[in-house]
Chains A and B, each alone.
Chain A
Amino acid sequence: MSERYARENELVSAESNLYDKAMDVAIALSIVTFVVGMITFADAVPLGATGTELVNFFAALLGVVVGGTGIVAVFSYANVIPITSQRVRGVAMGLLVSAVGLTLAAFVLPVSLATMLGLVMLLEAGLLVAAGVVSRLGLVDTAPSMTAGLLAGVVFGIIGALVGAVIVGSLPGLDAAVPGVPVWLLGAIVLGVGFGALAIVPREDLGSTLPAALIIGLLGVTIATAVIGVGWQWTPENLSGGFTGGSVIPVFVLFGSLLASWSAAKCRADFGARGRQYGAFFVINLNAFLMVAIMAAIVVFVTVKGVGWAFHDFSIGALSLLVVLTPILVLTAQHARAPAGTDEWHSAARQFFRVVPLAAVGSLAALLLGIIVTGTTFEIPYQYAILVDRSTVMLDTAFRVTPSLTVGNLLIIVSGAILFTYFLRRYGSLRNVGTEYERLSLVRQGVPAAVGLLGLLSLVYVVIGPVLDNIGIGPVLGLGVATLGAVVVAAFALVPLGALVTGEGTLAERAHESAQLLNVGLFSGIALLMAVIVLEWTAVSNPQLGPVAPVPVVALVAAVSSLCIAALVARARRSTDDTLRRRVLGDEVTLALAAATGYVTLVGLHVAATSESTFALGPVEVGINGSLSWPTVLQGAIPLGQAPGGIYPAIIGTIWIVIGASLFAVPLGLGAAVFLTEYAEQGRFTELVEIATNALWSTPSIVFGLFGAAFLIPRLGNSLSLLAAQLTLSFMLLPLVLITSREAIKSVPDEYRDASAALGVDRWTTIRSVVIPAAMPGVVTGVILGVGRIAGETAPLILVLGSEIDATTAVDVLGGFAFTTTPPFITNEALLGSSAALPTQVWGIITAGVSGSPSKGWATAFMLLVVVLSFYAVGITARTYFRRKINYE
C-alpha cells in the first residue's frame, strides 16, 4: 500500500503556517476533552470539582502531557524515533498548549469542571467557525470541494433531528402547532432538515464546520450555563431508570469532542479529498485505539482486583527465583545478540534497546543474590479482603522473597530441561572435526549397549523387584550397578576437561583437536546417568557411599566440569582468528553448556526418582518440597480457618476438563479433517459437513450444556460429573478442530502432493510424510486457540458440573481408576463425580449472593484469565513464528 501513496509523506511533512497550527491546537484540544470526558464518565474526578481540586487535576494532566510529549521529543531529537510529520509535531505542541491553558484557566476562573468543559467546547466551536470562515473568504490556501457530501449531510441531519426532538420536547408550554403531530416530531423534522441543508448546500469548508460548530456550541452552552448541571436529574415516567448530570455531561463532552476532532482534522488537511481522508482516518484510528484500550483496561482491571488475593502469603526462596530466572536470562541474552530495530535507527540506540532486557534480568539476579548474601527477607506487605460470616475482613499479608537456599526439584527439572533443549537446538554438529581416537569408536558402541543393559535391568526390577528383594540381592545389585555407573559417568565428564587442560599446542588447538572427545564424553555421560537414575527409580534404591550419594554428586561434578569446559573453550575462541576454528569452538561451547544444564536437570530428576526428601550440598538443598509457598494455587479452601486457603481444586478441575476435552475432540476432528480433505470426493457431502460444522461452531454454548445435561448425565451415573463436562466441551471443541485442521490441510499446496506422487509414493505415505507435517503449524495453532476458548467456557459447565465455590480437595483422576470384576471392569469415581473448576467457581460466587466473597471471585477470574490468555499467547506466538518461518524460507 505504502508505495502508492508515497507523496503523502511529503505532504504531512510540509511546513505549517499559522492556520495549520491553530487547527492542530483544535485537534489537540478535542483529544484532551475526550480524555477528560472518559475520566469523568468513570467518575475518577467529580464533575463538580472546583478551586484547588480542579487545579490539581489539570496540573496532573499537564504533567502527563509534558512527560509523554517530552520523552517522544527527546527520542526524536536523538534520532531514535525521528518524527518528521509536522502534523504529529503540531498535535504534540497543541497538547502542551491546551494542557497549560486549561491549568491556567482552572487557576484563574472560579468555575467547576463541568462549566469548564462547557467553555472549552464553546472555544472549540469558535475555532471551527473561524477556520471555516477564513477558508471561505480565501484568506488561507485550501482546496474545498463544492459540498461536504451526502454522507456528511445525512449524518448531520440525523444528529440535528435528535437535537431538535430533545430541545423542542423539553421546552415547556409549547402546544401542538399542527394538531395530531407531537411537537418533538416537528422539532426533529425542522432541525434535521436544517442541519442537513447546512451541511450540503454551502461549500465544503463551511458545510463541514458550521453544523459541527453549532452542535458543539449548543452542547457547550447547555453544560456551561448549567441547564444540565452536576446535580441535574431527569426520570422519565415510563422508564425504570433516569439520567443524571453525572452521566449526561460526560456523554455530551465525548460526543462533542469526537465531532470537533473530525471537523478540525478536516480543516487541518485543507478540506477536499485530503481533508476527508484525514478526518476519516482520525476517527478510525481513534476507534482502533479505543478497542485496544478496552482490552487492556479489562485485563488490567481484573489483574489489579485479583492479584492481591491471588498472591496472599506468597513466598519463595531467592535461589529458586534465580533458577527460574536462568532461562529468562538466556533468552534475553539471545535477544541482545540478535539484530533488532530498523536500519534508520541510531545504531547506539539499537544496541541500547537490545541490551536493556538483559540488564534488567542481571540487576534482578543481583538483587536476589543480595538477598541470599545478606540473609534479609524481601517483603512487600499489603492487605487483602476475605469473607468471614458474610462480612468482609481485611487480613495482613505480604509478598516475600526469603533468603532460603532450598530449591524444589520440579523447578530445577523444568528450567534445566528448557535450557537443555534450547542449547541442543542451537548446537550444530561436530562430525569429522578434530582427531578421531581409536578407543572412541569402542565407547561409541559400548555406551548404547550399557544404556540398554541398564534399561533391561530396570525392567527386571519393575517385573520381579520383590522377588529380588526377598533373595537379598535386590538392593545390593542396584546399589552396586548404580555406583559403578556413576563412577563411569564421572570419568566421561572429567576426561574431556583433562584433554583440554593438558597436552600440546595452544588452548584453541587442543580444543579443536579434542572435539570428538568432548562430543562423545558429554553425550555418553548424560545418557548413562539418565539410565542409572531410571534404575534408581525402579530398584527403589539410593546408593550411599558413607555420607555421599554418588549419583547427584557425580552429576554436579560433571555439570561443573562441563561449565569449566565451556569457559575454557570460550576463552580459546576469543584468542583465535581462524573463522573455521571459531565456528567449531562456538559449537563446542554450546555443547558444553547443553551438557551442564542436562546434568543439573539430572540432579533434580535424581531427587524425584529416589523420593529421598532432599539432596543437600552445604547450605544449598534440592528437595521435593521447595521453598515456594503459594496458598492460592497450591491449597484447597480452608473452611473455618483464619486464612482462606486457595483455589487449587478449581485449577486442577479446569486442567482435567481441558485435557479430557482435547483427548476426545482432537483425534476425532483431525482424523475427520484428513478424511474429508484427502480421501473424500469434494462435493455435496463434504460441503454439507462443512456447513454443519460451521453452524455447530456458532451454536450457543448453553445449548451444548442442555444436551450434556439431558443426554449424557443420565447415561453416566445420573449425577453432575467431570466426564460429562469433558464430553460436552469436546463436542464444542470438535467443530473448531475440524474447521482449522481442514483449513490448514487445504492450504498445503497441491505441488507438494504432486511431487510426492511423482516419486511413486502412495497416498497414505504422502499424507503422513508431506501433508500433515506441512499442515501441522496451522493445526497446532488452531487447537491451542480452541482449547483456550474451552478453558474459559462456563455456560455448559454449570449444567453438567455444578458450581462449587469452596472445594477443599481436588479431584484425583489418576488415582481414581479402579479395576473391578463386574462390568464395566474399569471404574473411576473421580471422573464420575463433580469437581470445582475456575469458571464455574466465579459463577458460583455470583449466585451465592452475600455469602460469595468478591475478592475470591476476582482472584479466580484473574487466574482464569491467566490460564486462558497464556493459551492464546502461546497460540498466537506459534502462529507468528510459523508464518515468519514459511514466509522467509
Chain B
Amino acid sequence: MLSAVTTDVQKAILGEDPSEGALRTVGSSVLLLVATLATIFAAPGFALPVLAVFLVVTAFGWTTHQAEMARLLTLVATVLTVLTVTLITVYLFVSAAPAFAAHGLDLLTIPIVNGEPQWFLWLDFLLPSAESIWNPRAGVYSLIPLIWATVIVTTIAGLIAAPLGVMGALFIAEVASDRLREIIKPGVEILAGIPSIVYGFIGFIVLNGFIQKSFLDDGASYLIAGLVVGVMALPTVVSVSEDALSSVPSAMGDGSAAMGATKWQTMKSISVPAASSGISAGIILGLGRAIGETMAVAAILGAVVQPTVPLFDVFDASSTLTSAIAHNYGSASASTVDVLFVAGVMLFVIVAGMSVISQYVERRINEKLRGQQ
C-alpha cells in the first residue's frame, strides 16, 4: 500500500523511468520545498532562507536535469494553484460558520413596518420577523433586505443586458462584415475593461442627479444601479453568446441558404435555436457578473440597509450583498464581520454555482454540435 503510494508520487513528479541523478536532484528539491512550506507554518521568520536554499538547489538542478526539473516546477505550480483555490473556499466557509452558529435563521429576519410583516406570501410564516433588521450595535442582523436589493438590481440589469446582449451577439456573429467585426468586437471588450469604479463614479456624480430631477427621486435608486450594472454585464452576454453563435457549424447555415431562406430566417430558425444553450449560458454568466458587481452598486446605492417597501419600488435604495461588504467591512465589529462572511459565502456559492451551470450547458452544446457535424 505504502510503496504503491510512493511509486505513484514518484511517477507524478518524475514521469516514467527516472535516472539516478534526476531522482537525487529532484528529490532534494522536493524535500526543500516541503521544508519551506513547513517553516511557513511553523516558524515563518525562517521561511525566506529555506526558500532561498530551495531556489539555489532548483537552479542547480535546472542546469543538470532540466526536463525533470521543469516537470517538477509545473507540478508544483499546479499543486499551489489547487491549494490556493481550496484554501480560499474552505477559509470562507470556516469564517462564516460563527455567524451561522450565532444567528442561524435570524439572518433571514423579515422586517415589521407599521406593525405588519412587510414580506409577502409564505415568507411571513416561515421566517422570524423583527422591528429592527440591521443594527450592528444591538447585534441584530438580517440579510433579507440585502438579498432583495441584489435581486432587484440583478433583475433590472438582466432585463437590459439579456436582450441587448443577444442582439449585439447576433450582429457580431451574423450581420457585421469582417471589417466591422474587427472594430465592434474590441469595442465590446473595451466596454468590459472599463473599471467598475469609473461606472460607479459616473453613477454617483451624474446619474443620481439625473434621477432626482427626472424621476423626482430623493436620492439613490435601484433603477440607476440596475441600468449601470446592466451595461456592465452586457459585454459578458455578448461575448459568450457570440462564441456560441459562431460555433454553430457553417454547414447548417449553408443548408438553410440553399433552401432559399433569407439571412434573417436562417438566423431566427437555425442559428439561434442551435446556439440557444450557449446563449443561455451567456445570460447566466452575465447575471453572475451582475450579482457580483460591487463598486458601481456601492457608489450609487450608498451604505443604507433598509427594507424595500413596497417590494417593487425601483426608486428605493438599500445596500446589496456585495456593497454591504464594501461599505461595512472597514469599520465593522467582529460579529458584523462574521455576518459579512455569510454574505460573502452566499455570493460565492450563488455565482460559482451559476458558473458551473453555464459551463455544463456550454459543454453540452459543444457535444451536441460535434455530434451533428
The answer to the question of B71 belonging to the interface, with a C-beta cut-off of 8 Å to chain A, is yes
- Asked whether B313 lies within 8 Å of A1 as measured between CB atoms, the reply is no
Give A56 Cβ to nearest chain B Cβ, in Å: 23
A238 to B311, CA, bound (A): 10
Secondary structure at chain B's binding surface: helix, strand, loop or mixed?
helix
| B263-278 contacts to A (CB < 8 Å) | 263-265, 267-268
- Asked whether A864 lies within 8 Å of B198 as measured between CB atoms, the reply is yes
Q: Name the A residues within 8 Å of B316 (CB-CB).
A: 240
Secondary structure at chain A's binding surface: helix, strand, loop or mixed?
helix
- Asked whether A707 lies within 8 Å of B263 as measured between CB atoms, the reply is no
| Contact indicator per residue, chain A 643-669, by CB within 8 Å of chain B (1) or not (0) | 000000000000000000000000111
| Contact indicator per residue, chain B 308-335, by CB within 8 Å of chain A (1) or not (0) | 0110011110000010011001100000
The answer to the question of A73 belonging to the interface, with a C-beta cut-off of 8 Å to chain B, is no
User: Looking across the interface, which residue of chain A has its beta carbon closest to that of B267?
Assistant: A280
| Contact indicator per residue, chain A 688-699, by CB within 8 Å of chain B (1) or not (0) | 010111111111
Within 8 Å by CB of A792, from B43, B195, B231, lies: B195
Q: Name the A residues within 8 Å of B80 (CB-CB).
A: 668, 672
- Asked whether B205 lies within 8 Å of A4 as measured between CB atoms, the reply is no
| A257-281 contacts to B (CB < 8 Å) | 273-274, 276-277, 280-281
A837 to B227, CA, bound (A): 27
| Contact indicator per residue, chain B 53-91, by CB within 8 Å of chain A (1) or not (0) | 000000000000011001101111110111011011001
The answer to the question of B361 belonging to the interface, with a C-beta cut-off of 8 Å to chain A, is no
Given A671-B76, A792-B196, A823-B43, are A701 and B191 neighbors across the interface (CB < 8 Å)? no
The number of inter-chain residue pairs (CB within 8 angstroms) is 329
- Asked whether A247 lies within 8 Å of B49 as measured between CB atoms, the reply is no
Q: Name the A residues within 8 Å of B168 (CB-CB).
A: 287-288, 291
User: Looking across the interface, which residue of chain A has its beta carbon closest to that of B46?
Assistant: A823
- Asked whether B355 lies within 8 Å of A679 as measured between CB atoms, the reply is no
The answer to the question of A292 belonging to the interface, with a C-beta cut-off of 8 Å to chain B, is yes
The answer to the question of B252 belonging to the interface, with a C-beta cut-off of 8 Å to chain A, is no
The answer to the question of A242 belonging to the interface, with a C-beta cut-off of 8 Å to chain B, is yes
- Which of the candidate stretches B2-10, B25-33, B127-135, B339-347 sits at the interface with the other chain? B339-347
Q: Name the A residues within 8 Å of B199 (CB-CB).
A: 298
Q: Name the B residues within 8 Å of A715 (CB-CB).
A: 44
The answer to the question of A163 belonging to the interface, with a C-beta cut-off of 8 Å to chain B, is no
A795 to B71, CA, bound (A): 36
Q: Name the B residues within 8 Å of A671 (CB-CB).
A: 73-74, 76-78
User: Looking across the interface, which residue of chain B has its beta carbon closest to that of A283?
Assistant: B167
Q: Name the B residues within 8 Å of A762 (CB-CB).
A: 67
Q: Name the A residues within 8 Å of B175 (CB-CB).
A: 281, 284-285, 288
Q: Name the B residues within 8 Å of A674 (CB-CB).
A: 74, 77
- Asked whether A764 lies within 8 Å of B70 as measured between CB atoms, the reply is yes
The answer to the question of B23 belonging to the interface, with a C-beta cut-off of 8 Å to chain A, is no
Within 8 Å by CB of B325, from A8, A705, A731, A734, lies: A705
The answer to the question of A670 belonging to the interface, with a C-beta cut-off of 8 Å to chain B, is yes
- Asked whether B264 lies within 8 Å of A281 as measured between CB atoms, the reply is yes
| A338-353 contacts to B (CB < 8 Å) | none
Given A702-B325, A823-B43, are A696 and B85 neighbors across the interface (CB < 8 Å)? yes
The answer to the question of A241 belonging to the interface, with a C-beta cut-off of 8 Å to chain B, is yes
- Asked whether A247 lies within 8 Å of B351 as measured between CB atoms, the reply is no
- Asked whether B95 lies within 8 Å of A5 as measured between CB atoms, the reply is no
The answer to the question of A711 belonging to the interface, with a C-beta cut-off of 8 Å to chain B, is yes
- Asked whether A795 lies within 8 Å of B310 as measured between CB atoms, the reply is no
A606 to B184, CA, bound (A): 46
The answer to the question of B35 belonging to the interface, with a C-beta cut-off of 8 Å to chain A, is no
A285 to B263, CA, bound (A): 14
Within 8 Å by CB of B77, from A241, A669, A711, A823, lies: A669
User: Looking across the interface, which residue of chain B has its beta carbon closest to that of A826?
Assistant: B48
The answer to the question of A684 belonging to the interface, with a C-beta cut-off of 8 Å to chain B, is no
User: Looking across the interface, which residue of chain A has its beta carbon closest to that of B292?
Assistant: A700
Give A873 Cβ to nearest chain B Cβ, in Å: 8
Within 8 Å by CB of A823, from B45, B78, B210, B355, lies: B45
Give A301 Cβ to nearest chain B Cβ, in Å: 7
- Asked whether B205 lies within 8 Å of A842 as measured between CB atoms, the reply is no
A731 to B89, CA, bound (A): 12
The answer to the question of B291 belonging to the interface, with a C-beta cut-off of 8 Å to chain A, is yes
- Which of the candidate stretches B107-115, B141-149, B214-222 sits at the interface with the other chain? B214-222
Q: Name the B residues within 8 Å of A507 (CB-CB).
A: none
The answer to the question of A798 belonging to the interface, with a C-beta cut-off of 8 Å to chain B, is yes
- Asked whether A824 lies within 8 Å of B48 as measured between CB atoms, the reply is yes
Given A700-B348, A706-B341, A795-B294, are A788 and B77 neighbors across the interface (CB < 8 Å)? no
The answer to the question of B359 belonging to the interface, with a C-beta cut-off of 8 Å to chain A, is yes
Q: Name the A residues within 8 Å of B74 (CB-CB).
A: 671-672, 674-675, 678-679
16 A-B residue pairs with Cβ-Cβ distance under 8 Å, sorted by A, are A1-B263, A4-B254, A5-B262, A247-B214, A277-B264, A280-B267, A295-B191, A298-B202, A676-B78, A679-B71, A694-B359, A710-B337, A734-B84, A798-B326, A842-B201, A869-B190
If A298-B202, A795-B295 are given as contacts, then 15 extra A-B residue pairs at C-beta distance below 8 Å, sorted by A number, are: A288-B167, A288-B171, A291-B238, A669-B81, A675-B71, A675-B75, A699-B348, A705-B329, A710-B91, A731-B88, A738-B81, A763-B67, A792-B194, A795-B196, A825-B49
Q: Which 3 A-B pairs have the closest CB atoms?
A: A823-B45, A792-B195, A700-B292
| A binding-site residues for B, Cβ under 8 Å | 1-2, 4-5, 8, 43, 233, 235, 238-244, 246-247, 273-274, 276-277, 280-281, 283-285, 287-288, 290-292, 294-295, 298-299, 301-302, 667-672, 674-676, 678-680, 689, 691-707, 709-711, 715, 731, 734, 738, 762-765, 767-768, 785, 788-789, 791-795, 798-799, 802, 822-826, 839, 842-843, 845-846, 854, 857-858, 861, 864-865, 868-869, 871-872, 876, 880
